[in-house]
Structure 1
Amino acid sequence: MTTLLQRLQITLPIFQGPMTGSDTPQLAAAVSQAGGLGFLGCGMRSPQAMADAAAAVRAATAKPFGMNLFVLETPDPDAAEVAAAMDRLAPLYATFGLQPERPARWCEDFAAQFEALIAARPAVASFTFGILSAAQVRRLKSEAGSFVIGTATTVAEALAWQEVGADAVVASGMEAGGHRGTFLGDWDGSQIGTLALVPQCVDALKIPVIAAGAIMDGRGIAAAQALGAQAVQMGTAFLACPESSIVPAQRAAMAAAQATDTRLTRIFSGRPARGILNQAMRMLQPHEADIPAYPVQNALMGPIRRAAAQAGDAGHIALWAGQGVGAARGLAAGELVALLAQEWQDTRAKLSN
């Protein structure tokens, strides 16, 4: 058992990725109960919803679990930028009979979410999209007793998290599904694959590294550990579980998809994210450079995504998935964790022969 697993009091090096908008307390609880670390993706949850979700996990399992937040400042976008973005989306609004309206709010207030996180006292608190201050990290440790994990897409970002006092870092390769966590440097230069990123982070850091990006089975877990990672974080693999909240149209799209079907796009949220190519991505791709940054575009696209999901229209929802999507298995979360553990142990046994 690695130092990280001992510290977290879990038996398997398997973290369920915090999939904001697609996770459920049932999914997190099932993964934790099976010996891994379940996560609640709270980037778009209100403080009250965070408290409710944490209570639901605790009602289902006594095992440790994590909560994840997006490190964000509430934006104050230029009115002309918003108007141009809404004009750009007008055909999509019209497709679903919607009237374009400026959202009442762009995102949840991070300061309020942070206080809710401390009040929830999860075993693990993780973060993407930005970085905390050293003072915030100290508060999480002293007031909530949480183990703090940052997300990095480059070695520089990993070192920055170590500098502010993080206990571990998720090294997220470009193969990973969903949003890129990049917060230092340029987007293009931060598209580093898992195989290259993980060992470089391991060599540079004194704290544990958790590998993420297209890890779908026990072979991937063993490979990540061979690179020096102490655990893996798997999103797409758990997205296919029945406990996730994705709609039937997304399940069908995932079941039919292969690695070559995913793309990085800003069109749904304003931040580069990997998902399955669909009609909305093709339509708005020429406007990628003009799309406002997260969370403005994310809020403007919200009504379209919700209407498309209700209509069962996979062409206009964000089909977040990593390059490993073709290997996703629609098993119950507890069954998947057990299978992953067996595959991991079998692979290690083969490698030791």
Structure 2
Amino acid sequence: MSSLAKAKAFCDQFALRCPVLMAPMAGASPVALAAAVTDGGGMAACGVLGMSPSVIAEWSSSFRAQSGPTAPLQLNTWIPDPPALRDPQKERKMRDFLQRFGPEVPEAAGDAKVVDFEAQVAAMIEAIEAEAAGADAIVAQGMEAGGHRGAFRPETANDLIGLFALLPQIVDAVKVPVIATGGIADARQAAAAFVLGASAVQIGTGLLRCPEAGISRVWADALGQSRPEDTAATRAFSGRLGRSMKTAYVLACQQEEAPEPAPYPVQRGLTTPMRTQAAKTEKLDGMMAWAGQSAGLASEKSARQLVADVWIGAMQMLDPTSPLSKH
């Protein structure tokens, strides 16, 4: 099956016009962005990690009101980790360290709780009966991706494998469609992923400069000026590995004298005062400014146009004579 034929089959399977998916970015998945991706023919998404069941239901209802009751949608949260092993002395050192970048960190900040996983799942599936267990598709996430690593076990997140090394090996090993993500922001990269066997691509950072994303201007501007070497994989914000802009805080955390980040969700709680203040004051150095290695390719065009352009451009590169490329 040709690259375009596989992508077209994926579109038919999931009722899409474009095999382009929005990445489910926790904290950066406004309804407006999801709806715009749907309008462009792709698949919308929401990262619901920090959302309560009622907020998940409210978000979903708002999306359905804009995009229709049958629009394809991804909802993503994390499988719970075992309870974090706490170290009061290390947490105190981290609180002292964080005060260099934000306000005083309360001693109880590390007591952060995660939203109940079972309740989140119940809100996501609502009253729909689950089909027989089995994955419809597999997302292959390369280390180029911004934000947290997609890993079932935290320790495997350290295996920083590039997308174009990972993708063909997964394609060869499974029979279900494979969705490529990590550093994909334009048609050239999407076309390369299709050549390597992907049935669809997923875009995260590449959508963050779209007007519908609504992120802070300072973060959006930094993404537009970013080079691949301007990002780093770090545990500094949540205790789990994620790729961020190299802000002053991230760089300081890489120094030998910096305290070791606490485990998730303790570290997330400890950094909350800094991140909250940075967001209010538009100070990038304290923000949790996630960014993939292709951030500099992120476009300011509408998400609707971006999704369509990625697919049409990829088709034109792969087979200019195909009727599919004339869409």
Q: Distance in 1 between matches of 2:83 and 2:302?
A: 39
1:341 corresponding residue in structure 2? 311
Q: 1:320 to 1:120 in 2, by over 3 A?
A: farther
| Structure 1 portions without partners, runs of 5+ | 122-138, 143-163
Q: Distance in 2 between matches of 1:266 and 1:93?
A: 18
Q: For residue 53 of structure 2, what is the amino acid of its counterpart?
A: P
Match of 1:332 among 274, 277, 302: 302
Contact 2:101–2:286 (CA<8 Å) still a contact in 1?
Answer: no
The yes-or-no answer on 1:310 pairing with 2:280 is: yes
Q: Distance in 2 between matches of 1:243 and 1:186?
A: 34
Contact 1:51–1:120 (CA<8 Å) still a contact in 2?
Answer: no
Q: Distance in 1 between matches of 2:58 and 2:214?
A: 16
Q: Distance in 2 between matches of 1:351 and 1:324?
A: 29
The yes-or-no answer on 1:211 pairing with 2:180 is: yes
**TM-score computed with the length of structure 2 as normaliser:** 0.88
Deviation at 1:172, TM superposition (A): 0.3
Q: For residue 118 of structure 1, what is the amino acid of its counterpart?
A: I
1:256 corresponding residue in structure 2? 225
Q: Distance in 1 between matches of 2:38 and 2:64?
A: 10
Contact 2:48–2:56 (CA<8 Å) still a contact in 1?
Answer: yes
Alignment of 1:1-353 (within 5 A): 2-62=8-68, 63-73=71-81, 75-78=83-86, 81-93=87-99, 95-103=101-109, 105-119=112-126, 140-141=130-131, 165-184=134-153, 186-187=155-156, 190-285=159-254, 286=256, 290-350=260-320
Q: Distance in 1 between matches of 2:216 and 2:117?
A: 27
Q: For residue 97 of structure 1, what is the amino acid of its counterpart?
A: P
Q: Distance in 1 between matches of 2:309 and 2:214?
A: 22
- Identify the range of structure 1 (60-69 vs 49-58) with the bigger mean alpha-carbon deviation: 60-69
Higher relative contact order (CA 8 A, sep 6+): 2
**Paired positions, count:** 312
> CA deviation digits over 1:30-70, x for unaligned, max 9?
10122100101111111111001101111111222221111
Q: Distance in 1 between matches of 2:165 and 2:207?
A: 24
Q: Distance in 2 between matches of 1:206 and 1:171?
A: 14
Q: Distance in 1 between matches of 2:154 and 2:54?
A: 34
C-alpha root-mean-square deviation of aligned residues, in Å?
Answer: 2.3
Q: Distance in 1 between matches of 2:26 and 2:212?
A: 14
**TM-score computed with the length of structure 1 as normaliser:** 0.82
Deviation at 1:106, TM superposition (A): 2.2
Match of 1:216, SS?
Answer: coil
- Identify the range of structure 1 (166-175 vs 333-342) with the bigger mean alpha-carbon deviation: 333-342
| Identical amino acids, percent of aligned pairs | 36
Q: 1:174 to 1:43 in 2, by over 3 A?
A: same
Q: For residue 108 of structure 1, what is the amino acid of its counterpart?
A: V
Q: 1:106 to 1:185 in 2, by over 3 A?
A: closer
Match of 2:212, SS?
Answer: coil
Q: For residue 308 of structure 2, what is the amino acid of its counterpart?
A: A
Q: 1:120 to 1:92 in 2, by over 3 A?
A: farther
> CA deviation digits over 1:254-310, x for unaligned, max 9?
122111101111111111111110111122223678322222211221221111111
Q: Distance in 2 between matches of 1:288 and 1:2?
A: 49
| Structure 2 portions without partners, runs of 5+ | 1-6, 323-327
Q: Distance in 2 between matches of 1:94 and 1:176?
A: 28
Match of 1:290, SS?
Answer: coil
Deviation at 1:185, TM superposition (A): 8.4
Contact 2:94–2:260 (CA<8 Å) still a contact in 1?
Answer: no
Deviation at 1:341, TM superposition (A): 2.5
Q: Distance in 2 between matches of 1:192 and 1:289?
A: 27
Deviation at 1:171, TM superposition (A): 0.3
Q: 1:173 to 1:311 in 2, by over 3 A?
A: same
